[in-house]
Chains A and B, each alone.
Chain A
Amino acid sequence: MILEAFLLGVSTGTVCITTCAPSAVPLFLSREWSPRRNALGTALFFGGRLAGYLLFGLILGALGALAAGYLTPLWEGRIGALAYLLTGVLLLMEGIFYNLEKPRFQCFMKKRYPWTGGLFLFGLLTGLHFCPPFFAAAVRVTAEGGGPLQGGLFFLFFFLGTSLYFLPLLAAPWLTRKPAVRLVARMTLLLMGGYFFLVLGLFNLGGQL
């Protein structure tokens, strides 16, 4: 089962990237971090994703077949739209407030929106942007009905398999040395935040309700 979960992650990781990269890439490219701090930030982002995956794994494992009724496009749409809405808000805040080179804004954000918690939250919300591999793992866990521990383990190794494709995030500091790259990434944060909030969040949620 462990090998199956890991291989599912590895074989479908490219699809995972398509749902996670839109928020992760501009986020990491907009920051001027040292390799060490970037690695820590990446770990926090991964931690958020892992928390989301484990949470779902435990719940789905506990519910088993009872959860099957909720693995529908309607619920996927609702949860996904909500996740995009919240991610959009965070991206907009990130683009507008956090990266402004004014001490007043930085102090405000550091007090109320510590970068550590922010990245963890980004990772958690990104994990909720449901993708087909996630559903494949969910169906597997609910069909197995092996309890919360088995569900959690399955999603843990599924997460590890998909995480291989996120390792290039560690190379971000070498790109962000150029101010132009950070500026472009910051602009992209704003565009992406607006798109997530309105198009993938609000409009989709309106259509689902």
Chain B
Amino acid sequence: MNPDNTLKRNRPLPVVLILTALMGLHVFFFNNPASSLQLEGIPSWMGPVASLIYNTAALILFFLMLRTNRVGFFRRIFFVSIALLFLPTFIANIIEMRGHMALTTKDIFLNETPFCHIVLPLVAIPYALTQTLAFPAVLSTGYASFFSMLVIWLAATVILGRGWCSWVCFYGGWDDGFSRLRKRPALKISPRNDRLRYGGFAMLLFTLLAGLPTLTVVYCEWFCPFKLITEFEEPTGFKSMLAFILMVLLFFALAIILPLLTRKRVQCGSFCPFGAFQSLAGRVSPFRVVLDSGKCVQCGKCIQACPVMAISPETIKEGRGQPLMTCTLCGECVDVCPAQAVDFGLALQKKPSPPAGSLIKELLHPRSLLPWAGFAFGFVISSGFATGTLYRFFHLLVRGSFVLPGGLF
């Protein structure tokens, strides 16, 4: 084991304070309590207090992440929180908008469904052929429009790449959280890591091709497990009822049970077509996890820790220097490595950089930049609905209802 525990010691306080201060500016810019939503008939303190609570919690989490150098652990807390805070506001908002979660044919034709990032790669070919969006979403205005999601996705992909799947996606916290509840897996899948890793790519190719004959988004129609916590087609006939049952089964199997049993993010690592797409599109990002084969003691902890099976024994033996392209930059392997052989780095690096040695270099190091960028994007995506959930919680305490008269958005 490398006795140099420089990377594992607490990060220097000046570096952490500067990065946290910069994050504070970012946080209060995007979620300013002074300009929080004020709804008529609702106490004026609720909005600012909700914003302040979320901002403060986020900054404390960010500070601890950098100070303790446990990026994977604190990132996971933030990521799971995003998923849990997303659920109540989204469902409440849908009910405020149309009175029910299920999408009727009329709702679909109204084209007011919030746009989901998962379908971004799946609407491209139908759009190219028909110049129409094969998803009933608003294009440019209102809540969660297509263009706003496209802009966020473009920016996050260029900077984070597949890091979207561990820092930004408001669904991923489900299987990420459940995959870490048990200390040991009840179902070991290591020998088949290789094949399961490519499941998402198969689902991507399948949904792209299967959608061609009908120019629809087959993944949404039949396979998306997260419709259960967002919105789904009203089960009025045999096919829609079957799709509903499949949705429930897939959610419990892929987002809860299998992650719990295997300690792997089964939905995100082996099924989600968007994740596979991000593995390809995200190669433009400058950030990577880097592995130093020279320092590696071959304990295999990084292989066990990786929730998306991006590190294989061959990665270590062959001295590849980086995990496979399915790496989501979650930092779990960085946390567990006893030899400090794993760290965040840049695209062309084959081993981690030595300690920076100066304040500026430490601030500009990937181990500072990547967590900062990831957390920043995650905050931008989550601040609206997270604050909204807190706001609704206060409303529940004061007025006895989680649903707001007139809606929040």
B-binding residues in A (CB < 8 A): 14-15, 17-19, 21-22, 25-26, 129, 131, 180, 183-185, 187-188, 191-192, 195, 199-200, 203
Binds A, one of B60-68, B198-206, B355-363: B198-206
| Chain A hits for B198, CB < 8 A | 180, 183-184, 187
Closest Cβ–Cβ distance, residue A89 to chain B (whole Å): 16
Interface contact B202-A22, CB-CB below 8 Å:
no
CA distance A20 to B391 in the complex (A): 51
Contact between chains at B213 and A14 (CB < 8 Å): no
Q: Looking at the assembled complex, report how far the CB atom of B246 sits from the nearest CB atom of chain A, in whole angstroms.
A: 11
Task: Decide yes or no whether B215 CB sits under 8 A from chain A.
Answer: yes
Pairwise interchain contact A183-B195, C-beta atoms closer than 8 A: yes
For chain A, what secondary structure do more than half of its interface residues adopt (helix, strand, loop), or is it mixed?
A: helix
Contact indicator A191/B213 (Cβ below 8 Å): no
CB-based nearest B residue for A187: B202
Contacts beyond the supplied A18-B213, A191-B210: 17 A-B pairs with Cβ under 8 Å: A18-B129, A21-B212, A22-B210, A25-B205, A26-B205, A26-B206, A129-B213, A180-B198, A180-B201, A184-B198, A184-B201, A187-B195, A191-B202, A192-B210, A195-B218, A199-B239, A203-B239
Distance between Cα atoms of A200 and B203 in the complex (Å): 17
Q: Does B238 contact A (CB under 8 A)?
A: yes
Instruction: Indicate which residue in B129, B195, B199, B209 contacts A22 across the interface (CB closer than 8 Å).
Output: B209
B202 lies within 8 A of A184 (CB): yes
User: How far is it, in angstroms, between the C-alpha of A187 and the C-alpha of B271 when the chains are bound?
Assistant: 12
Of residues 181 through 209 on chain B, the ones whose CB sits less than 8 Å from some CB of chain A are 195, 198-199, 201-203, 205-206, 209
Q: How far is the CA of A199 from the CA of B243 in the complex (A)?
A: 11
- Cβ contact within 8 Å between B202 and A18: no
Q: Which residues of A contact B205 (CB under 8 A)?
A: 25-26, 184-185, 188
B202: A residues at CB distance < 8 A: 184-185, 187-188, 191
Query: Does any Cβ of A come within 8 Å of B222's Cβ?
Result: yes
Residues of B within 8 A of A203 (CB): 238-239
* Majority secondary structure of chain B interface residues (helix, strand, loop or mixed): helix
Establish whether residues A21 and B239, one from each chain, have CB atoms under 8 Å apart when the complex forms: no
With an 8 Å Cβ cutoff, the count of chain B residues facing the other chain is 18
Q: Which residue of A lies closest to B196 (CB)?
A: A187
Given the known interface contacts A187-B198, A187-B199, A199-B222, the answer about A18 and B212 at a Cβ–Cβ threshold of 8 Å is yes
Contacts of A191 in B (CB 8 A): 202-203, 206, 210
Residues of B contacting A199 in the complex (Cβ-Cβ under 8 angstroms): 222, 239
Complex contacts, B218 vs chain A, CB 8 Å: 195
Which residue on chain B has the smallest CB distance to residue A200? Answer: B213
- 10 pairs, A vs B, C-beta closer than 8 Å: A18-B213, A21-B209, A22-B212, A26-B206, A184-B198, A184-B201, A184-B202, A185-B202, A187-B198, A195-B222
On whether the beta carbons of A19 and B213 are closer than 8 Å, the reply is yes
Q: Which of B129, B201, B209, B212 has the most CB of A within 10 A?
A: B209
Given known pairs A187-B202, A203-B239, the reply for A26 and B213 (CB within 8 Å) is no
B114-152 residues at the A interface, CB under 8 angstroms = 129
Shortest CB–CB separation between residue A80 and chain B, in angstroms? 9
The answer to whether A195 and B206 have CB atoms under 8 Å apart is yes
User: A-B pairs with the 9 shortest C-beta distances?
Assistant: A187-B202, A18-B212, A191-B206, A22-B209, A184-B201, A188-B205, A188-B206, A188-B202, A184-B202
Contacts of A21 in B (CB 8 A): 209, 212
CA distance A57 to B285 in the complex (A): 53
Q: Which residues of B contact A17 (CB under 8 A)?
A: 212
Residues in chain B near residue A180, CB distance under 8 A: 198, 201
Complex interface: chain A residues within 8 A of B201 (CB): 180, 184
- Smallest beta-carbon distance B12→chain A, Å: 42
Measured between beta carbons, the chain B residues less than 8 angstroms from A188 are: 202, 205-206, 209
CB atoms of B206 and A19 under 8 A apart: no
With known contacts A184-B201, A184-B205, A22–B213 Cβ distance under 8 A? yes
Q: Complex formed: what's the CA distance from A185 to B199 in Å?
A: 10
Residue from B199, B209, B239 in contact with A25 in the complex, judged by beta carbons closer than 8 Å: B209
Chain B residue at smallest Cβ distance from A190: B202
